[in-house]
Amino acid sequence: MKNSKNIRKNYFNFFDTSFIVLIFITLISGIAVYLIKGIDILYLSLVEDLNLLLKILPILGGGILLVGSMHILLPSKFIGKWLGKESGFKGILIATLVGGVTPGGPMVSFPLLISLRSKGADIGSLIAFITAWTTISFTRTIAWEIPLMGIDFTIIRFLSSLILPIIAGLLYRKFFNNYFAMEKNN
């Protein structure tokens, strides 16, 4: 039970500095809309925000449930072995592949990133993962890029981007590995 207590404690600590800054900016924005555009526009803005929240909430919830399940099912030893500090170049390649095939938007990929980090993946692998997700996403390539840009453009763009996640992960490991406190906590 001690282990489940630690997991619970980590996920309920969401009132951090970035959350407080976001709330502050949101309040300032709301006040600015009210002062510049009036109460009617502020109300319209809040209704649109609520509609957006209602659209995003199921996706975010699904992503978090998926990642939560993976977090429980994949042991730390497994993640550490394949994506941890000692995984070497192989870890960067695996992270690139996993990032490239991860479907969905940031509501899936970033909770997955957090889960992988807490299970022992090193920052170099996580950088390769998120860089692959943003630059060589197979799902976006098939669903959007080929139909909109054509196969020739897509192949050239894909092949020229393929090396970027690997370079990003290796650059971190080579030059920045000793500078981030997050890395030293492991």
**What pLDDT, in 10s, does the model give residues 138-154?**
988 998 899 999 999 99
Claim to verify: residue 36 and residue 91 sit in the same structural domain:
no
Claim to verify: residue 68 and residue 102 sit in the same structural domain:
no
- The overall average pLDDT reported for the chain is 87
Tell me if 142 sits within 8 A of 186, measured CB to CB: no
Query: pLDDT value at position 10?
Result: 55
Claim to verify: residue 57 and residue 137 sit in the same structural domain:
no
Tell me if 34 sits within 8 A of 42, measured CB to CB: yes
Note the helical H segments in 120-163: 123-135, 138-140, 146-149, 151-161
Would the CA dihedral through 143, 64, 179, 96 be positive or negative? negative
What residues contact residue 115 under an 8 Å CB cut-off, 6+ apart?
67, 68, 70, 71
Claim to verify: residue 91 and residue 37 sit in the same structural domain:
no
Claim to verify: residue 30 and residue 103 sit in the same structural domain:
no
Query: pLDDT value at position 48?
Result: 94
Claim to verify: residue 12 and residue 102 sit in the same structural domain:
no
How many structural domains are present in the chain? 2
Claim to verify: residue 62 and residue 117 sit in the same structural domain:
no
> For residues 41 and 3, which has the higher predicted lDDT (pLDDT)?
41
Claim to verify: residue 68 and residue 123 sit in the same structural domain:
no
Does the pLDDT of residue 11 top 60, yes or no? no
User: What is the rounded CA–CA span in Å between residue 121 and residue 87?
Assistant: 9
**pLDDT digits over 75-92, tens only?**
899 999 999 988 999 999
The residue out of 31, 52, 72 marking a domain boundary is 72
User: What is the rounded CA–CA span in Å between residue 78 and residue 72?
Assistant: 12
Q: Residue 34 — pLDDT band, cuts 50, 70, 90?
A: very high
Does the pLDDT of residue 7 top 80, yes or no? no
Query: pLDDT value at position 1?
Result: 45
Structural domain including 67 reads: 2-72
User: What is the rounded CA–CA span in Å between residue 116 and residue 172?
Assistant: 17
Query: pLDDT value at position 69?
Result: 84
Claim to verify: residue 38 and residue 98 sit in the same structural domain:
no
User: What is the rounded CA–CA span in Å between residue 11 and residue 20?
Assistant: 17
Does the pLDDT of residue 46 top 90, yes or no? yes
